[in-house]
Each structure stands twice: as structure tokens, then as C-alpha cells.
Amino acid sequence: MAAAPDAIAGTASPPRLSATRGGAGPHPMTERPSWDHEGRDWPNRDASRFVTAGGLRWHVQVMGSGPVLLLVHGTAAATHSWRALGPLLARRFTVVAPDLPGHGFTDTPATHRLSLPGIAGLLGTLLGALELRPALVAGHSAGAAILLRMALDGTIAPRAVVGLNAALLPHGEAHADIFSGTARLLVELPFVPRLLAWRASQASVTERLLRNTGSRIEPRGVALYARLFRHPSHVGAALRMMANWNLRPLLRDLPRLAPPLILVVGTNDRAVPPRQADRVRALLPSARIVPVAGLGHLAHEERPEAVAEIIAAAAEPSAPPAPPAP
């Protein structure tokens, strides 16, 4: 999920910005999530492990057996976004799902590494440490761009790349440079992630952010997003990704992509307009678009069973295209 900074700005009573802890009630705002506290009942916790690679301590979930399937979440999300989809796919695959750098329970790298090539390279080191070669990969939103960069760079050679509401065009397109410049300015103000985290710690704000994606997810899913949004480290990593994100080299290289690209498109996606998939296919005519009717940007959380079938079908090169989900 990608949350623009202005979506959670504007509040009557900001916290004291010099403090390292803030908030009120049973969920105080701390710098980064704690596995012992925020992770105490994390979805699929039994599948979690911590792995050191590329100078970072990663939180990774591994479940199931069979061909390796790598799942990569989007900006401001974490492994909780696969809470229902992961176990479904684990019936057919060895599912590997990391928290991206700076997200969830994975360490935050230097700011310059929170770029598209930087994260793609770091994820490659993680796969090397795990000694895994994905047979299939699926990424949500910005996660799809990361996987495409890795495939184009030869870091992975999957049978197919599945993009779930893939964010592959610059935000605002004509205004992309202004947007990323604004994000860079916000990142340089050290109090901004703390202010945004404090604002997003309010349940109503998180609910509004998620509704603005065009999706409706269950209360537990909303609570898990809110649990992460109250931590400045998580919010700050998302901001730094936005500040460093440059999709133009990826779009330039996209026509030479070797594996098939399947674009799963929620017709109610308000974060990534569905028509963007047609523009991506204009660059890569072999790309296949699979619409999922009535679902938003978090389609994989709204209808995990339907999305699982689409992903599983992508693992079978001889299989007919998966039909659109009703």
C-alpha cells in the first residue's frame, strides 16, 4: 500500500516532537515496531524467522512446500498483507515473504539504498543468504516494480512475474519530479515521520487511508496496518522510498523483460488507476491483464482465494489464461 504524506497530515494537537516516545492509551508510539510487542500475535507468526543479509536483519516468513514463490509487498505494508493469501499459496508452493527494508520488522538501511535498484539489490542478497531461487514471483504495487527490476537485472529468473495492482508508472506522471521532490523535502525534516505516525495512530485515520485505496478489508487487517503506522521508522522508510523512487529506467528497460508479465488489476483501484495497465502493455505487448471486478488496490486482501488461483495459474506455462475473477 502506498500512502501519500498529505493523506495523514493535518491535526489539531501534534505530539511533542523532541520526545522519543509519544501517544496515549495502550499503544504508545515508539520509534520502530517490537517483535515481542507488535509481533506478539503477528499473522502466520510460526512461519517467521530473522535472517541477516546485506548488513540488515530481515524478518521473513517461509511456509509450505513445492516450487519457491516470492511475495513482495508494497510501500508502507509488510508481511501481514499476505495473512490470508500466503497460507492458501503454501498449499502448492514454498512461499517466501519478507518485510522490505525499513518496513515491519526488518532493519532500515541507509537512505540511498531505499531506491528501486537499492532495494532490488538488497532483496537479491537476502535470496542468496536463504539459498533460494524463486520459480515464480508476485509483487503488490511497488513490490511489482522491485521484482521487475530484479528480473531485468538477472537477479531472478522466474517462470512469470505477477503484478498485483502494480505501480509501474510515475506518480502523477507529468508531476512525478515535483512529487518526489516534495517527499525528499519531507524526509529531510526529522520530525515529519513522527508527526505522520502520530496522526496515523488514530484508528479513524488508518481506516480512511485504506478506504481511499478502493478496498474494504476486515477489522483485523485495518488494526495491523494501524499497528505499523504508529511507528516513525515504518512511516519514514515509506517516505524515503517515495523520495528515491525513479521508475523511468525500469520503463525504458521493460521491453526486454524475458519472463511473462501478468497484471492483476482491481477495477476499483483508487491508488493505481486501472487504465495504467493498458499503458504498461503498450510498452510490453506480451503482458497479460487479468481484471478482478469490484476490488480495490488491496484486492489480494479482499479476495485472497481469487488472487491465489490467478497466481497459481501463472506457474503453469501451458495452462490457459486465468479467467477474470467475478
Q: Does the pLDDT value for residue 199 go beyond 80?
A: no
Q: Does the pLDDT value for residue 91 go beyond 60?
A: yes
- Decide if 139 contacts 163 (C-beta within 8 A): yes
Alpha-carbon distance values, 25 to 9, 96, 113 (Å):
21, 35, 35
User: What share of the chain has pLDDT > 90, as a percent?
Assistant: 71
Q: Which three cell numbers, joined as nine digits, stand for 174? A: 507529468
Pick 175 or 182 by higher pLDDT: 182
- One of 3.90.1170.50, 3.40.50.1010, 3.40.50.1820, 3.30.70.2170 is the CATH number of 42-173+246-314, namely 3.40.50.1820
Return the closest-CA partner of residue 235 out of 26, 16, 2: 2
- Return the pLDDT at 221: 96
Pick 274 or 230 by higher pLDDT: 274
Q: Is 292 helix (H, G, I), strand (E, B) or coil?
A: strand
pTM score: 0.85
- Return the pLDDT at 17: 29
Over residues 71-80, the pLDDT tens digits come to 999 999 999 9
CA distance 112 to 117: 10
- Under DSSP, the state recorded for 237 is H
Return the closest-CA partner of residue 172 out of 4, 9, 7: 4
- Decide if 116 contacts 146 (C-beta within 8 A): yes
Over residues 161-170, the pLDDT tens digits come to 999 999 999 8
Q: Which three cell numbers, joined as nine digits, stand for 172? A: 502523477
Burial of 120 (0-12, 13-18, 19+ CB in 10 A): buried
Return the closest-CA partner of residue 285 out of 309, 254, 246, 313: 254
Q: Indicate the Cα dihedral angle 291, 292, 297, 299, nearest 10°.
A: -140
DSSP code per residue over 255-277: GG--S-EEEEEETT-SSS-TTHH
User: b vs e for 234-267, b when ≥16 Cβ sit within 10 Å of the residue's Cβ?
Assistant: bbbbbbbbbbbbebeebbeebeebebbbbbbbbe
CB-based contacts of 47: which residues, under 8 Å, 6+ apart? 61, 62, 63, 86
For residues 104-122, give the mean pLDDT.
96
